[in-house]
Structure 1
Amino acid sequence: MVDWSGGNDRGAKPVKDAIWACLATKGIAEAPVYLRNRQLAEDWIIQTLSRLQAEGRRVLVGFDLCFAYPTGFATQLIGSEDTLALWDWFAARVTDTPDSNNRFDLAGEINAQFPGVGPFWFNGLKRDIDHLPRKGNARRDHGLPEKRAADIAVPGSFSPWQLAGAGAVGGQVIMGLPMLARLRQRFAGTLRVWPFEAPDAQIVLAETYFSTLRELVAADPHPIRDASQVSLYARAFSNMSPDALAVLMDIPATPEGWVLGAGKADALRAALAPTPPPLKNDCFAMPQGAHWTPVDEALAHLQSHLHCVTGTDDIAVGDAAGRVLARDATAQRAHPPAPNSAVDGYGFAGPAPEGLNSLPLVIGRSAAGAPFEGTVPKGQAIRILTGANLPTGVDTVVLQEDVTVDAGVVSFYGPLKKGANARDAGEDMQAGQTVLTKGRKITPADVGMLAAAGIGAVTVRNRLRVGVLSTGDELRDPGDTATDGQIYDANRPMLAALFDQAGYDVIDLGRAPDNRAVLRDMLDTGAARCDVIIASGGASAGDEDHMSALLANTGSFALWRIAMKPGRPLALGVWDGTPVFGLPGNPVAAMVCALIFAHPALRVMAGSTWSEPVRYMLPAGFSKSKKEGRREYLRARITDGKVETFASEGSGRVSGLSWATGLVELSDPAQTIQKGDLVPFLSFKSFDA
């Protein structure tokens, strides 16, 4: 994507309203390229296209540049509405150097060939130019429309007749058409111009308009809008499927051309927020012959078979806490941006020798936000405040508590080494440095760092939509009337609170009766609304285990018998493209399985990294013997530096979860724990889901 310009050379420092370009492949954009003048830009485009051509790539080159004029213009100049021949006409008449060009004079010469006054207007030079009015309202009777049909279809577009001024495109069109003509000649045989030619070549040129997605451009972290625009549109078009791009290009060819993507903003937004591929139906299938699955084997299987299932969004940094970063965040400038003072004091050129140092003070001071603009001569000092830029001639600061000031002279005792109490530019972060990598769950501290690096917006993963469902005729909602044969549903509110605390978008799917048809309808609803469904109950192979029975009919069902206590059965499957985790019905088993298995799995599906809880080795305040063959998780908490366990190991004792602050994990081999032995303690807080 190329944002062209009709102005002169803009200098070495990247600026707005210049030429910017960006290359992207499959939705991933390289850094935007600043091109200071048209000559360098044309060379860069030719070199880039030559390289991509040699690599066998198909290339779409989009220019924010009108490819044609309103109907009738070309006929008056060359005798036909042959737009591509008109390009050659301009190429033969435009003169261009980095510091000057003839666009205003040529526009006057063109106007002279039309009746009345116009159509071009706006003279950007001090001298008058024959036939070129300075104001648009001075034009009359030239006989041409103000805009093309394509311009009318794009809200906010400008007429190609206005040569300069805020938002004007006329000058860049005159200076761009010769470059387009030379590209056609340079890549003859392998280049086509859409929509005047069928887009069936290796290289296709197309006109686009970079202001269609204003809200996304405004949210982009790059400080220069032109750079954001080429990056955003390069990502969007390169990420479109061939079918989606074909739909955009399926328009009849007219001499006026068309703007690629005009009126199709939703298609561009969809390309910028792609939906990841669904999980495969066999993602939960364990190797044949496995009857009892060790915990580590089950975790390894999930880690290797799951992937992110969420799209992306661009949001302001201030709203990003708790969200998962989808693209690496790059510092937009150094932090600090300039050398500055770490303290209130007096700055000078160090070092200061041992003994008394007396330095005359220059008039003025340097404060944060109000730096001293002059130079501090060697042997003199200046008043400086914390965070203020070090003026030229200053590299060392002495604390104000260590000095005396009298009659314009500051005195203090040395020695003081050079650079004392001063911060270097970029000592925290350098411009262009990756400060956070994708997959990180953004913390409040991260928000501060991103803001300090000048990053106004970040690309994050959409919140994972987690549906929570309970099954069983015996369940009643808390607060309802229940008989002795019924129980209150603890799992659904407990699991919903767990996943809400993790930062997911929790969707309460309700409780399903022991009715297969009703459960099927509820799963259909959940699959349409959620990225993943967490169900409890019905996860085994009994008569009323309808969840397992329904998942078995999908061809994706896997019933894992985990070698662990509590929480033996896990029913897993994919329902209409949505993964389903079927947890045990007992509350303790449901919670433990959610922490051990759903916690890391959901992190991956949300776009973050696989994570396991931190294990702290602490002395046991209990004794226990366990058999070989399964892993055990005991509800526990820390008292006086030792780990004590809940009085009962029963998986129905939900009060033990409230009493506990974590779990003791006892590994698979047989073992005997004595008081004082070190045991692994997994704090609930370490499950940073």
Structure 2
Amino acid sequence: MNRLFGAYVIVDYSAAEGKKTGESSVWIGVMKRDIRFRLSYQSHNPATRAEAATLLRTLLADLHKRGDRVLVGVDFALGFPRGTAARLQLKTADWRGMWDFLAKNIVDKPDNKNNRFQVAAKMNRLMTDEAYPFWGCPKSDAQKWLSTLKPDSFGDFPELRLTEQETLKLRKAAHSKSLWQMHGAGVVGGQSMLGITAVKSLAESLGEQAQVWPFQTGFNMLTDESVAGLSTVIAEIYSPLYEGEPEAGEVKDATGVRLTATALAEADDKGQLGALFAGPKGLSEADTAIAATEEGWMLGV
């Protein structure tokens, strides 16, 4: 049976300041096959995002050398809510415009110190000249364009991306974290800013052999033909989709990475993985276009 990928690398990211391992730090899980196609798994817990970026490139180089095509799944958003790029008046009002903007503005130092709160404040200033839509920061970072408190209204900005709205239906949960929130437990705003900048650099280093789903691949079922010539496909993942028990002493983030890598590898073994890339069912044509060009989508949602 033809599998689409030889290895699956899952990245649970972190916006931590200062070196950090364990809970709420960067975890990288690698699921690959041996010569008999048996799956083996290894996890890594680099202390900084800079170490993670170096490690990720090394891991991918080793896997590519083996002849493996790799699915890289990242647990942060690869696009921002619809209308963000347009309100920033970027040259292109799509994912590329946002990625370029973040790459020019984000500073993420080797010791994990970064300027994500300042960038959120700048974006608020450019978009609304008030302390919204981005919100949340330590008191020391609060200023005219960024508040510690959630705004009363997001104006005409949607609070959630379309894919996050869909997770609410799946989980039957009361709420989902918004990318506008920059500070607090489980937030993804700053993590996505830092993560997008890192993924942009990684994708550019891999060149045309790497594609980002769905922005470059479109919402299409992946087949042997469609991935021919690719070494890497990068996609946003959502680890709560994959349930299972933690191993002894395993922290929550490490468990999520392992379960996600296992589930995707097993789906590929069964010939079911390619269909996940076909994207969301039941979305209007307009909303599908928004997800494919601007907001992105969580694989499997």
State the TM-score bracket (shorter-chain normalisation): 0.7 to 0.9
Counterpart in the other structure of 1:258: 297
Number of aligned residue pairs: give it. 257
* AA in 2 matched with 1:210: S
* Alpha-carbon distance, 1:79 to partner: 4.0
Structure 2 residue 42 is the aligned partner of structure 1 residue 20: no
Q: Deviations over 1:197-239 (max 9, x none)?
A: 12632200000111223x51x4443431111111111111122
Q: Which has the higher helix share?
A: 2
Q: Matches of 1:35 and 1:86 in 2, distance apart?
A: 27
SS of match in other structure, 2:240: coil
Residue 57 (structure 1) aligned to one of 64, 68, 73:
68
Q: Deviations over 1:35-74 (max 9, x none)?
A: 1110000001111111212222110000000011111001
SS of match in other structure, 1:16: coil
Q: Deviations over 1:520-573 (max 9, x none)?
A: xxxxxxxxxxxxxxxxxxxxxxxxxxxxxxxxxxxxxxxxxxxxxxxxxxxxxx
Q: Matches of 1:28 and 1:136 in 2, distance apart?
A: 45
Unaligned residue ranges in structure 2 (runs of 5+): 1-9, 280-287
Pair member with larger Rg: 1
Residue 191 (structure 2) aligned to one of 172, 191, 212:
172
Residue 67 (structure 1) aligned to one of 78, 92, 100:
78
CA distance 1:15–1:249, change in 2 (3 Å) = same
Aligned sequence identity (%): 29
* AA in 1 matched with 2:248: P
Structure 2 residue 259 is the aligned partner of structure 1 residue 246: no
Decide whether the 8 Å contact of 1:46 with 1:183 is kept in 2: yes
Q: Matches of 2:188 and 2:40 in 1, distance apart?
A: 26
Q: Deviations over 1:465-498 (max 9, x none)?
A: xxxxxxxxxxxxxxxxxxxxxxxxxxxxxxxxxx
* Alpha-carbon distance, 1:15 to partner: 1.4
Q: Deviations over 1:299-321 (max 9, x none)?
A: xxxxxxxxxxxxxxxxxxxxxxx
* Alpha-carbon distance, 1:194 to partner: 0.4
Counterpart in the other structure of 1:47: 58
* Alpha-carbon distance, 1:29 to partner: 4.1
Structure 2 residue 107 is the aligned partner of structure 1 residue 95: yes
Counterpart in the other structure of 1:82: 94
TM-score when scaled to structure 1? 0.36
Structure 2 residue 157 is the aligned partner of structure 1 residue 144: yes
Decide whether the 8 Å contact of 2:31 with 2:42 is kept in 1: no
Q: Matches of 1:222 and 1:57 in 2, distance apart?
A: 31
Counterpart in the other structure of 2:17: 8
Counterpart in the other structure of 2:260: 233
SS of match in other structure, 1:62: strand
Counterpart in the other structure of 1:32: 43
Q: Matches of 1:29 and 1:118 in 2, distance apart?
A: 46
* AA in 2 matched with 1:2: V
Q: Matches of 1:171 and 1:35 in 2, distance apart?
A: 19
Q: Matches of 2:119 and 2:74 in 1, distance apart?
A: 22
* AA in 1 matched with 2:237: T
Q: Deviations over 1:138-185 (max 9, x none)?
A: 5543x2100111011113531111112111111101111110110121
SS of match in other structure, 2:239: coil
CA distance 1:61–1:140, change in 2 (3 Å) = closer
* AA in 2 matched with 1:212: L
Decide whether the 8 Å contact of 1:24 with 1:30 is kept in 2: yes
User: Relative contact order (C-alpha < 8 Å, sep 6+): which is higher?
Assistant: 2
Structure 2 residue 139 is the aligned partner of structure 1 residue 111: no
Residue 134 (structure 1) aligned to one of 136, 141, 148:
148
Q: Matches of 2:74 and 2:196 in 1, distance apart?
A: 11
SS of match in other structure, 1:75: helix
SS of match in other structure, 1:96: coil
Runs of 4+ in 1 over 6 A off after TM superposition: none
Q: Deviations over 1:617-674 (max 9, x none)?
A: xxxxxxxxxxxxxxxxxxxxxxxxxxxxxxxxxxxxxxxxxxxxxxxxxxxxxxxxxx
CA distance 1:139–1:36, change in 2 (3 Å) = farther
Decide whether the 8 Å contact of 2:11 with 2:73 is kept in 1: yes
Q: Which has the higher strand share?
A: 1
SS of match in other structure, 1:240: helix
Decide whether the 8 Å contact of 1:154 with 1:212 is kept in 2: no
